[in-house]
Amino acid sequence: MAVPDPKAGFEIPTSMKGEFIRVKSSFRDWITADGSSGYKAESGRYHLYVSLACPWAHRTLIVRKLKGLEQTISCDVVDWFMDGQGWSFTDKKPNCNLDTVNCCSRLREVYRIANPDYEGRITVPVLWDKQKKTIVNNESSEIIQMLNSEFNAYCANEEQKKLDFYPKTLQKDIDGVNEWIYPMVNNGVYRSGFARTQEAYDVAVRELFQGLDKVEDILSKTRYLAGKELTEADIRLFTTLIRFDLVYVGHFKCNKKRIVDYPNMWGYLRELYQIPGVADTVNFEHITKHYMTSHESINPTRIVSIGPEIDFTTPHGREAMSKREQGR
């Protein structure tokens, strides 16, 4: 959920110390394979509203892609520019489109269809139920778990059906990693970039790099965050790492180190990017233009930088880590 800029009409929630405070998601219903939750997994019934710039929405696109659910769950992509009224729809920019389900001009109108009295924040991703005409869920961590487990009957092939990014045997490890990576890294870049005092920034950015150092240490010993297999923990971290050197280093003042300066994390990031289908979900134009044009208080000129040039396609060498683990 990329956060609107105060000069564009929204106030960034902060504490008395100038610390950025992320507001919790409001819609938290669940889709189940058998429909016991009131929302049954069905092909063509559900729809995603996403931003290609937003790391939280990006998680859902990766799981949807890897699980082969693109024909099962439709998707609309908002404009990369967020103005004073929040996310909007356009077909005038590359890889954006109009609202194909509710014909709304802005995402806030979609929220109001779900709840006419809604006054909370307008965020992506949004998982919409076309049948009940409401928002099922707008919390990315829960949406990716639904896509991972509840739609297996509709995966494009058997291999995708077998993929499990939250296996029972690893759930404790996955939850343990997510528990500190979210506040320190995923949200840490925002806590740094949206800090309104030097004190708040100093605390946030130090914790951010403590988190990244911890990730680097883990990846020096195991191929993935929870061991030998790719899990949702890796997908959740990937969407932050892929944006880090591109926008967070400069735009959010997270410039103590770059991801390319961490040998294990840099190889790991390239490996995840090179997983078939993942690169299809990454749009660098949307990422750079959203952050650099939407956050007027950070970049008042709204000039989009030319670089950096980063090649995510070079050999990553992480196969050696699996061989090392097998030899233990």
Write out the catalytic residue numbers: 54, 190
| pLDDT at residue 22 greater than cutoff 80 | no
Written as six digits, the tokens of 177 are 């990693």
pLDDT tens-digit profile of 25-53? 789 999 999 999 999 999 999 999 999 99
DSSP string of 70-129, one letter each residue: TTTSEEEE--S--BTTB-B--SSSTT----TTT--SBHHHHHHHH-TT--S---S-EEEE
Domain ranges of the chain: 6-162, 168-281+307-326
β-strand pairing of 46-50 with 134-137 = unpaired
Q: Dihedrals φ, ψ of 74, to 5°? A: -75, 170
Same fold, 6-162 and 168-281+307-326: no
Q: Are 60 and 147 in contact (CB under 8 A)?
A: yes
Residue range 104-117: average pLDDT?
Answer: 97
| pLDDT at residue 201 greater than cutoff 70 | yes
| pLDDT at residue 198 greater than cutoff 60 | yes
pLDDT value at residue 327: 59
pLDDT value at residue 13: 64
pLDDT tens-digit profile of 158-167? 999 999 999 9
Residue written as token pair 């195991």:
222
pTM for this predicted structure: 0.93
In whole angstroms, give the CA distance from residue 106 to residue 119: 15
**CA nearest neighbour of 219 among 230, 229, 227, 211:** 227
Residue 128, CA distances (Å) to 6, 134, 193, 318 in order: 28, 6, 30, 38
Task: Name the 3-class secondary structure at 310.
Answer: coil
Average pLDDT, the chain: 94
Reported as half-sphere exposure (CB side, CA atoms, 13 A), residue 122 has a value of 27
| pLDDT at residue 7 greater than cutoff 90 | no
**CA nearest neighbour of 163 among 181, 151, 178:** 151
Spell out the CATH class of 168-281+307-326: mainly alpha
Q: Which fold has domain 6-162?
A: Glutaredoxin (3.40.30)
| pLDDT at residue 3 greater than cutoff 60 | no
